[in-house]
């Protein structure tokens, strides 16, 4: 079975999703902007992690800059204290949803539990590690689900099934080789994670379940993961799941920044990344480290032309405010996306020799193309690019 045949019509037509990483890590909001995942040497990655949402792990690595930052800026306070300091006092789900809709989002996937173990709803069995019991003191998911659906956008959920640092007492991850050693695999965690995801299904009926890293081995072995998926298919018949369960369970493949790019093949795959190098809000990422509207449009056109979807992350501040540098990009691309998004419905890749382009300078110009019905959509970088193709051409220029 191909990825294309696994996907329902809505997912085949979708081309743009919004990821939302928001948690206690949004309080310190700090990571070294060292580079893209997959481009930084693996032996350097964990101690110099560019992902702010991994702060709870990075600060435990002796001698890491994050450990020094935590000591100097927060007096070495335990990571757990950030949950109590997280108030979400400016959270406006309707504002988020309107912004995402204007930018052309087909679906929105918030983190419901990241590796720190904190859930954004009153998840069964989670005790006080929830935003209902502490910090914001409320369910952060339900109002967002309602708001995005009111805008005609599908709602999905991210869940970290592979790592939970609150559930385990493993040492910090410092090398890729230890990822499999330091994840919970036993029956107790399998029951815990299964209960969480089943509750997410029953409460929010998500169109996407985006699991991360792995799934506890006990749950794969005893059939409870299969039963969970059967329940999901029954509750949400056109729902889809990603490929990070550690087993042959997936409706589509994923890539992330420069990692797993071998999955960017065929039709129906999904590329996910942040506007900067981090998913969680990183206060160090200014405009120079954040994709602008033109860069984002170019990335989107490239992914669509190759048969994929872009899942772009937004990292709100702890208050719930979407950082100005990120809002600038979404607002700046909205008009362009309004023009190009209708031209992606029913798309398919074109042969490499189906379109040629030239420029007065004689240099090979940048362009990307795909087919929609009898037309070929060509996105060009410059107004003076000359496009030649067999059949009707719809030409779209990148935003200035």
Q: What is the CATH number of the domain that holds 209?
A: 3.20.20.80
State whether 287 and 392 are in the same domain: no
d(CA 137, CA 242): 30
Among 358, 397, 389, smallest CA distance to 371 is for 389
State whether 159 and 15 are in the same domain: yes
The string over 331-367, giving b where at least 16 C-beta atoms fall within 10 Å of a residue's C-beta and e elsewhere, is: ebbbebbeebbebbeebebbeeebbebebeeeeebbb
State whether 168 and 254 are in the same domain: yes
State whether 10 and 28 are in the same domain: yes
Spatial neighbors of 25 by CB under 8 A, at least 6 apart, are 52, 53, 54, 55, 56, 82, 114, 116, 280
State whether 264 and 317 are in the same domain: yes
d(CA 211, CA 242): 7
Q: Longest C-alpha distance within the chain, in Å?
A: 66
Domain extent at residue 8: 3-344
* Residue 15: both structure tokens together: 């081309």
Partnered with residue 155 across adjacent β-strands are 108
Contacts 24+ apart (CB under 8 A), 69-77: 69/28, 69/30, 70/28, 73/28, 73/30, 74/28
In the chain, the N- to C-terminal Cα span, in Å, equals 41
pLDDT mean over 35-52: 96
State whether 190 and 47 are in the same domain: yes
Picking from 188-197, 198-207, 346-355, which range would have the lowest pLDDT averaged per residue? 346-355
Instruction: Convert the pLDDT of each residue in 222-245 to its tens digit.
Output: 999 999 999 999 999 999 999 999
State whether 262 and 355 are in the same domain: no
Instruction: Convert the pLDDT of each residue in 171-198 to its tens digit.
Output: 999 999 999 999 999 999 999 999 999 9
The last residue of one of the domains, among 321, 344, 367, is 344
Instruction: Convert the pLDDT of each residue in 48-79 to its tens digit.
Output: 999 999 999 999 999 999 999 999 999 999 99
Domain count along the chain: 2
Banded pLDDT at 1 (limits 50, 70, 90): very low
Instruction: Convert the pLDDT of each residue in 263-304 to its tens digit.
Output: 999 999 999 999 999 999 999 999 999 999 999 999 999 999
d(CA 103, CA 112): 23
What is the model's pLDDT at position 6?
81
pLDDT mean over 307-320: 98
pLDDT mean over 160-175: 96
Instruction: Convert the pLDDT of each residue in 99-154 to its tens digit.
Output: 999 999 999 999 999 999 999 999 999 999 999 999 999 999 999 999 999 999 99
What is the model's pLDDT at position 352?
86
State whether 330 and 359 are in the same domain: no
Banded pLDDT at 4 (limits 50, 70, 90): low
What does pTM read for this prediction? Answer: 0.97
State whether 369 and 335 are in the same domain: no
d(CA 75, CA 68): 10
State whether 296 and 386 are in the same domain: no
What is the model's pLDDT at position 385?
95
Partnered with residue 16 across adjacent β-strands are 310
């Amino acid at each position: 079975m191909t990825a294309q045949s696994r996907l329902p019509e809505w997912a085949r037509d979708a081309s743009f999703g919004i990821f939302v990483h928001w948690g206690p890590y949004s309080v310190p909001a700090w990571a070294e902007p060292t580079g893209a995942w997959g481009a930084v040497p693996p032996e350097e990655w964990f101690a110099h992690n560019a992902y702010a949402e991994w702060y709870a792990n990075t600060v435990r690595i002796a001698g890491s800059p994050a450990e020094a930052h935590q000591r100097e800026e927060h007096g070495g306070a335990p990571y757990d204290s950030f949950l109590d300091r997280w108030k979400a006092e400016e959270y406006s789900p309707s504002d988020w949803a309107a912004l995402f809709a204007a930018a052309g989002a087909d679906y929105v996937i918030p983190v419901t539990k990241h590796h720190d173990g904190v859930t954004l709803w009153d998840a069964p069995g989670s005790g006080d590690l929830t935003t209902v019991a502490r910090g914001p003191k409320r369910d952060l998911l339900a109002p967002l689900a309602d708001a995005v659906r009111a805008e005609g956008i599908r709602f999905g959920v991210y869940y970290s099934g592979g790592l939970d640092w609150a559930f385990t007492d493993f040492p910090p991850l410092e090398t890729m080789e230890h990822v499999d050693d330091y994840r919970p695999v036993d029956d107790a965690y399998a029951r815990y994670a299964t209960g969480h995801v089943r509750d997410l299904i029953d409460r929010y009926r998500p169109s996407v379940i985006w699991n991360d890293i792995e799934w506890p081995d006990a749950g794969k072995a005893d059939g409870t993961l299969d039963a969970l998926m059967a329940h999901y298919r029954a509750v949400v018949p056109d729902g889809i799941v990603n490929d990070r369960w550690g087993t042959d369970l997936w409706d589509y493949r994923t890539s992330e920044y420069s990692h797993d790019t071998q999955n960017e093949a065929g039709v129906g795959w999904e590329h996910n990344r942040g506007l900067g190098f981090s998913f969680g809000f990183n206060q160090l990422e200014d405009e120079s480290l954040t994709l602008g509207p033109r860069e984002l449009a170019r990335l989107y056109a490239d992914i669509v032309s190759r048969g994929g979807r872009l899942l772009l992350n937004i990292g709100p501040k702890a208050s719930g405010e979407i950082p100005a540098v990120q809002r600038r990009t979404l607002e700046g691309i909205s008009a362009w996306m309004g023009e190009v998004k209708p031209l992606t419905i029913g798309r398919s890749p074109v042969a490499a020799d189906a379109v040629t382009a030239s420029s007065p300078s004689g240099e090979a110009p940048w362009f990307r193309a795909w087919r929609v019905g009898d037309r070929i959509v060509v996105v060009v970088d410059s107004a003076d690019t000359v496009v030649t193709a067999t059949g009707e051409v719809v030409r779209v220029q990148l935003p200035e």
